[in-house]
Chain A
Amino acid sequence: MGNDAHTPDAAASVDFEQVQSTERFQKLRKRHRSFVFPMAVAFLLWYFAYVLLADYAVGFMSTKVWGNINVGLILGLLQFVSTFAITGFYVSYSNRKLDPIAAEIRHEIEGHEFDKHGNIVSGEKK
């Protein structure tokens, strides 16, 4: 997939525009954005829905469900649950879908870049 396209020659520095235009990078970019944007919109909407309810639907939020535990408390605790869940979801998504491509691209560029500057590159830990 476009290996030649972004392999810099020994003298020139990395052509990031070229890397950016590769199919593989575009795939990484798309995968990243198609996860984080909808997810960010979703949790922000859910959070603001909760704030609006607490603000303007006090009666509903004060409805007792079990003993002294009311709807407001349950929805508040669900905010915790959803935060933990999204965190776990994102980590597993990144590990499966983002990290491997990112590591591949980095691997290819890096050797050259670091050789050129004479920096020590220790092997990529996987």
Chain B
Amino acid sequence: MIGIATAVDVADLKETTLLNMGIFGLFVAVTMVIVIRASRNNKTAADYYAAGRSFTGSQNGTAIAGDYLSAASFLGITGAIAINGYDGFMYSIGFLVAWLVALLLVAELLRNTGKFTMADVLSFRLQQRPVRIAAAISTLAVCFFYLLAQMAGAGSLVSLLLGISDWGGQALVIIVVGALMIMYVLIGGMKGTTWVQIIKAILLISGAAVMTFWVLAIYGFNVSSLLGAAADTANNPAVLNPGLQYGKSETSKLDFMSLGLALVLGTAALPHVLMRFYTVPTAKEARKSVVWSIWLIGIFYLFTLVLGYGAAALVGADTIKSAPGGVNSAAPLLAFYLGGPLLLGFISAVAFATILAVVAGLTITAAASFAHDIYASVISKGKADADTEVKVARRTVVVIGVMAILGGIFANGQNVAFLVALAFAVAASANLPTIIYSLFWRRFTTQGAVWSMYGGLGSAIILIIFSPVVSGAKTSMIAGANFAFFPLSNPGIVSIPLAFLLGWLGTVLDKRREDTAKQAEMEVRSLTGVGAEKAVDH
């Protein structure tokens, strides 16, 4: 079987390429029409950032699933299971269980207290300037890491589909993806972006469902035979057991713990996920959104388990690894094996759409945070009107788009699930402690928030820089150098507890007391939804 997929791939290249581009072009055309229609009544800042809070829970839940089921989930996890077996499955579980943190502790309270961004909530009862700046910086940092992962995914996908392995060709496609995304966000704002997410989520989940059904049908709907076949093709029964990737040494076991911690605590702190809760009219709809997304995401991850082992059994780890695009190519190769060029074309177009949609969601979050938190609240000290703020947001979109394109060109080739795990670690360290403390701990102060956010963000990033991800290993970004004094690839196990500790320490050492009236207001608002029920405008 080895070699067949790649051989056919090369032979059918032209046909497949045209087909892929055709399907992808159709998706872009259809969504663009919807985006333009949706944007007709984008007038206020609430329209642009929060889609006028007009989405229902189920629509928003589907959009959240669309935002969350990124290239990392689809390409990265399928690839990780296909290559590393059980250890890849860990990603799915962490990514899913994490939603309970969002559901129980964050979503509704956040919807009730904020307007547009994460910083709205964090700075609610603390001093505006320092907290807002810190929250905006960490929002931008997390979005940037996440963007890198998505753009790297775009690069892998393109190299597989078009057989483009030269740097210039891949860079060109990353530029095209980036430019399209900038257009969506500029024209459609949050409403347009949300519709793109919804369409893409439906396409992605149905595509994965078809492939899952197909794989299961091959094995007579017997999961045990599928697993057996995966173990046979891999010639290694250990793919069914934990530890293939992370069980090698004590350090790698610790790395696995660190990854698990980052995954489960990161989701509820991802700024682009948090921002989605503002697009619904009430906290109850925010709750419904999370419930919808938990079901959709959970079912999708069950699919990836079948797809990953299916790719391991039918395509084989060696073929996947040697294909252009490496690990990330498992799902497209499986599609090709099952349904030939047509299914490959469809699945690839969906994966492209996924990247486009997620990148658009990240960009609008980062732009909103810059315009609303840094420009409107800090630079112009609240004097800017909503029109100017939206204008600044649109300009920021272009800047971030260009940065994402450049970053993506450099991050090309890394496993996207892994890069996303780093974004989760940064989010969990920089944002989660402050979110939890400010919602639930009456005594929490500005100093605690600032220490925790900068401490968490700084320690996570510094540990990544001095980790094997950046230098000192064969797969490092800078392969030639070695300044990796931190042995773990994921910093979560150090930086997350540190950020919680700093939040507590900063608070108990703070001589200032925060305004108790504000604390009362935040608590009452967060639990009852007073004043936050309807679309709120500045």
Please tell me which one of the listed residues B103, B227, B238 contacts residue A90 in the complex, with CB atoms under 8 A apart.
B103
CB of A36 within 8 A of CB of B520, answer no
CB of A62 within 8 A of CB of B242, answer yes
CB of B228 within 8 A of CB of A58, answer no
User: Chain A at the B interface: mostly helix, strand, loop or mixed?
Assistant: helix
Contacts of B301 in A (CB 8 A): 80
Question: CB-CB contacts of A26-37 with B at 8 A, as 1s and 0s?
Answer: 001100110110
- Of residues 247 through 296 on chain B, the ones whose CB sits less than 8 Å from some CB of chain A are 247, 253, 256-257, 260, 264, 284, 287, 290-291, 294-295
Contacts of A4 in B (CB 8 A): none
Q: How many A-B residue pairs have CB under 8 A?
A: 157
Given contacts A91-B287, A105-B530, A106-B528, A83 and B97 within 8 Å (CB-CB): yes
Interface-central residue, B100, B223, B253, B295, by most chain A CB under 10 Å:
B100
User: Chain B at the A interface: mostly helix, strand, loop or mixed?
Assistant: helix
CB of B100 within 8 A of CB of A55, answer no
* A102 to B531 Cα, complex, angstroms: 12
Contacts of B291 in A (CB 8 A): 87, 91
From residue A8, how far is it (CB to closest CB) to chain B in Å?
11
CB of B524 within 8 A of CB of A19, answer yes
Given contacts A47-B260, A55-B253, A69-B224, A16 and B528 within 8 Å (CB-CB): no
CB of B224 within 8 A of CB of A66, answer yes
* A90 to B102 Cα, complex, angstroms: 12
CB of B97 within 8 A of CB of A16, answer no
Question: CB-CB contacts of A44-60 with B at 8 A, as 1s and 0s?
Answer: 10011011101110100
CB of B527 within 8 A of CB of A72, answer no
Residue B529 is within 8 A (CB to CB) of chain A in the complex: yes
Contacts of A99 in B (CB 8 A): 284
Please tell me which one of the listed residues A29, A47, A58, A102 contacts residue B97 in the complex, with CB atoms under 8 A apart.
A47
Give the size of the chain B interface in residues (CB under 8 angstroms): 56
Residue B19 is within 8 A (CB to CB) of chain A in the complex: no
Contacts of B246 in A (CB 8 A): 55
Given contacts A43-B100, A51-B90, A106 and B242 within 8 Å (CB-CB): no
* A17 to B225 Cα, complex, angstroms: 63
Please tell me which one of the listed residues B222, B231, B264, B523 contacts residue A44 in the complex, with CB atoms under 8 A apart.
B264
CB of B104 within 8 A of CB of A90, answer yes
* A76 to B260 Cα, complex, angstroms: 13
Given contacts A40-B105, A67-B228, A83-B99, A20 and B529 within 8 Å (CB-CB): no
Residue B101 is within 8 A (CB to CB) of chain A in the complex: yes
Interface-central residue, B89, B100, B256, B528, by most chain A CB under 10 Å:
B528
CB of A62 within 8 A of CB of B524, answer no
Contacts of A39 in B (CB 8 A): 100, 104
From residue A5, how far is it (CB to closest CB) to chain B in Å?
13
From residue B242, how far is it (CB to closest CB) to chain A in Å?
4
From residue A54, how far is it (CB to closest CB) to chain B in Å?
4
Which residue of chain B has its CB nearest to the CB of A84? Answer: B298
Residue A94 is within 8 A (CB to CB) of chain B in the complex: yes
Residue A7 is within 8 A (CB to CB) of chain B in the complex: no
* A68 to B238 Cα, complex, angstroms: 11
Residue B516 is within 8 A (CB to CB) of chain A in the complex: yes
CB of B523 within 8 A of CB of A51, answer no
CB of B523 within 8 A of CB of A69, answer no
Interface-central residue, B86, B440, B525, B530, by most chain A CB under 10 Å:
B530
From residue A96, how far is it (CB to closest CB) to chain B in Å?
13
Question: CB-CB contacts of A86-116 with B at 8 A, as 1s and 0s?
Answer: 1100110010001100100110011001100
Given contacts A47-B260, A51-B90, A79-B96, A17 and B534 within 8 Å (CB-CB): no
Contacts of B247 in A (CB 8 A): 55, 58
Contacts of B243 in A (CB 8 A): 54-55, 58
Residue B533 is within 8 A (CB to CB) of chain A in the complex: yes
CB of A72 within 8 A of CB of B241, answer yes
CB of B104 within 8 A of CB of A17, answer no
Q: List 15 A-B contacts (CB under 8 A).
A: A20-B520, A28-B527, A32-B527, A35-B104, A39-B100, A55-B257, A58-B241, A67-B228, A68-B224, A68-B227, A83-B96, A90-B103, A102-B527, A106-B530, A124-B533
